[in-house]
Structure 1
Amino acid sequence: MSTADIRSVLRGDGGRFIYLASALAALNGLLFGFDTGIISGAFLYINDTFAMSPLVEGIVVSGAMAGAALGAAVGGQLADRLGRRRLILLGAGVFFLGSFTMAVAPSVPVLVAGRLIDGVAIGFASIVGPLYISEIAPPRIRGALTSLNQLMVTVGILVSYFVNYAFADAGAWRWMLGTGMIPAVVLAIGMLKMPESPRWLFERGRKEEAEAVLRRTRQGDIEDELDEIAETVEKQSDTGVRELLEPWLRPALIVGLGLAIFQQITGINAVIYYAPTILESTGFGSTTSILATVGIGVINVVMTVVAIALIDRVGRRRLLQVGIGGMTITVAVLGTVFYLPGFDGAIGWIATASLMLFVAFFAIGLGPVFWLLISEIYPLAVRGSAMGAVTVANWGANLVVSLLFPVLTANAGEATTFWLFGACSLAALLFTYWLVPETKGRSLEAIEADLRGNVTASETAD
Structure 2
Amino acid sequence: MIKDRFSDDDDGLQPLAYNMSHDEGNAANTETLHLNVLEDVHIFTTQFELTHKLNVIQKAALLLQSDTSLDDAPGLSVHEITALANETTHKWQQPWTMYLTIVVTALGAIGQGWAQTSMNGANLYFPDAFGIGSGSARDNFTVGLINSGIYLSNGLLGAWLVAPLNNAFGRRGAVFAAALVSLLSNIGGALTQNWQQLLFFRLILGCALGVISSTLNIFAAECAPAVIRGGLAVSWQMFCAFGIFVGFIANVAVYDFGSNAWRLQLAAPFLSTIPLLILIYVCPESPAWYIKNNDHYDRAFLSLCRLRNTEIQAARELYQAYLQQSTKHDSKDKLTYFKTLTELFTIPRVRRATVAAHTVMISQQLCGINTTAFYSSTIFLDANFSKYSALLASVAFGFINFVGAFPAVWTMDTLGRRSLLLLTLPLMALTMLAIGLSFSIPADSPAHFGLLAAMIYLFCAEYSPGLGPVPAAYSAEVFPLSHREIGTSSAVAVTSLWASALSLTFPTLLNTLGSQGSFTLYAALNVVAFVLVFLLVPETRMKTLDELDEVFAVPTRSFIKYQLTVYIPWWMKRYVLRRDKVELPPVEGWRTEEYQAVCQNEE
RMSD: 2.4
1:233 match: 325
**Cα pair distance change 1:460/1:177, threshold 3 Å:** farther
1:211 match: 301
Give deviations 1:340-361, integer Å, cap 9, x for gaps. 5587432222111111111111
1:263 aligns with 2:364: yes
Give deviations 1:73-132, integer Å, cap 9, x for gaps. 222442344322221111211110110111100111111111111111121123112111
- Deviating more after overlay: 408-417 vs 159-168: 408-417
1:115 match: 202
Q: Tell me the distance in 2 between the aligned counterparts of 1:460 and 1:155.
A: 39
1:45 match: 125
Give deviations 1:149-172, integer Å, cap 9, x for gaps. 111100110010000000112231
1:104 match: 191
- Deviating more after overlay: 118-127 vs 107-116: 118-127
1:182 match: 271
Q: Shift of residue 256 of structure 1?
A: 1.1
AA paired with 2:537?
V
Give the unaligned 5+ runs of structure 2.
Answer: 1-85, 133-138, 560-586, 590-603
2:142 match: 56
AA paired with 2:142?
V
1:244 match: 344
Q: Say which SS state the counterpart of residue 279 (structure 1) adopts.
A: helix
| Contact 1:87–1:124 under 8 Å retained in 2 | yes
Q: Tell me the distance in 1 between the aligned counterparts of 2:150 and 2:94.
A: 41
Matches within 5 A, 1:446-461: 446=546, 449-450=549-550, 454-455=553-554, 459=587
Higher-Rg member (1/2) = 2
Give deviations 1:9-63, integer Å, cap 9, x for gaps. 54253xx432221221232111110101110011101133112121211122112
Matches within 5 A, 1:380-399: 380-399=481-500
Q: Tell me the distance in 1 between the aligned counterparts of 2:255 and 2:548.
A: 49
Q: Shift of residue 369 of structure 1?
A: 0.8
| Contact 1:143–1:440 under 8 Å retained in 2 | no
Q: Tell me the distance in 2 between the aligned counterparts of 1:253 and 1:320.
A: 18
Q: Tell me the distance in 2 between the aligned counterparts of 1:406 and 1:324.
A: 24
Q: Tell me the distance in 1 between the aligned counterparts of 2:463 and 2:87.
A: 25
Q: Tell me the distance in 2 between the aligned counterparts of 1:316 and 1:285.
A: 39
1:21 corresponds to which of 101, 117, 126: 101
2:400 match: 299
Q: Tell me the distance in 2 between the aligned counterparts of 1:118 and 1:425.
A: 29
2:313 match: 221
Q: Tell me the distance in 2 between the aligned counterparts of 1:431 and 1:423.
A: 13
1:372 corresponds to which of 468, 473, 476: 473
Alignment identity in percent?
29
**Cα pair distance change 1:146/1:456, threshold 3 Å:** farther
**Cα pair distance change 1:96/1:432, threshold 3 Å:** same
Matches within 5 A, 1:319-358: 319-339=420-440, 344-358=445-459
Q: TM-score, normalised by structure 1?
A: 0.92
Q: Tell me the distance in 2 between the aligned counterparts of 1:44 and 1:90.
A: 32
AA paired with 1:243?
E
Q: Tell me the distance in 1 between the aligned counterparts of 2:257 and 2:148.
A: 25
Matches within 5 A, 1:134-213: 134-171=221-258, 172-204=261-293, 205-213=295-303
Q: Shift of residue 261 of structure 1?
A: 1.4
AA paired with 2:288?
R
Q: Tell me the distance in 2 between the aligned counterparts of 1:434 and 1:281.
A: 37
Q: Tell me the distance in 1 between the aligned counterparts of 2:525 and 2:115.
A: 26
Q: Shift of residue 207 of structure 1?
A: 1.1
Q: Tell me the distance in 2 between the aligned counterparts of 1:6 and 1:190.
A: 29
Q: Tell me the distance in 2 between the aligned counterparts of 1:12 and 1:253.
A: 33
Q: Tell me the distance in 1 between the aligned counterparts of 2:209 and 2:422.
A: 27
Q: Tell me the distance in 2 between the aligned counterparts of 1:384 and 1:50.
A: 40
**Cα pair distance change 1:9/1:331, threshold 3 Å:** same
AA paired with 1:103?
A
Q: Say which SS state the counterpart of residue 346 (structure 1) adopts.
A: helix
Q: Shift of residue 226 of structure 1?
A: 3.5
Higher relative CO (CA 8 A, sep ≥ 6), structure 1 or 2?
A: 1
Q: Shift of residue 391 of structure 1?
A: 1.0
**Cα pair distance change 1:434/1:26, threshold 3 Å:** same
Q: Say which SS state the counterpart of residue 30 (structure 1) adopts.
A: helix
Q: Tell me the distance in 2 between the aligned counterparts of 1:230 and 1:151.
A: 33
Q: Tell me the distance in 1 between the aligned counterparts of 2:425 and 2:325.
A: 36
Q: Say which SS state the counterpart of residue 391 (structure 2) adopts.
A: helix
AA paired with 1:128?
T
Give the unaligned 5+ runs of structure 1.
Answer: none
AA paired with 1:56?
T
Q: Shift of residue 378 of structure 1?
A: 1.1
Equivalenced residues, count:
454
Q: TM-score, normalised by structure 2?
A: 0.71
Give deviations 1:221-245, integer Å, cap 9, x for gaps. 3555445433443426346333212
Q: Shift of residue 420 of structure 1?
A: 1.7
2:90 match: 8
Q: Tell me the distance in 2 between the aligned counterparts of 1:160 and 1:6.
A: 38
| Contact 1:233–1:380 under 8 Å retained in 2 | no
Matches within 5 A, 1:65-144: 65-69=151-155, 70-144=157-231
Q: Say which SS state the counterpart of residue 304 (structure 1) adopts.
A: coil
| Contact 1:136–1:217 under 8 Å retained in 2 | yes
2:566 match: none
2:563 match: none
AA paired with 2:235?
L
Q: Shift of residue 338 of structure 1?
A: 2.0
